[in-house]
Amino acid sequence: MGVRLAMKKELMGLDNSGMLTADDVREHLANSVKKQADQDERGFSVISKFNDTHSRLVSGDATRKTKLEFERHRLFKEVLYTRKSVDAWLDSQTN
């Protein structure tokens, strides 16, 4: 993790909050996929789908329903996801 990202996360107060940045979600997805050794292509697909969803949310196009619960940080305006919704979304994508 870079110094800028670490400082930004510290300033946002995300430690033990249950909220994840997009980079945290990607890392969580990658680690979950690594546990399933025979699903390399599936892992790429899951991360790609998340990136697509995240891009739509950042641009303000939230017309499609998604299981990902999110909110924008008040100061940094960054999209943050709840860990619970990320896990539920991952389960729906891998099953």
Per residue in 5-16, pLDDT tens?
A: 788 888 888 877
pLDDT for residue 6: 81
User: Which residues lie closer than 8 Å to 63 by C-beta, 6 or more apart?
Assistant: none
Tokens at residue 48, please? 């790609």
Tens digits of per-residue pLDDT, 28-63? 998 888 777 666 667 778 889 999 999 988 888 766
Name the pTM for this structure: 0.83
Domain ranges within the chain, ordered by starting residue: 3-94
What are the structure tokens assigned to 8, written together?
């930004």
- The CA distance from 7 to 25, in Å, is 18
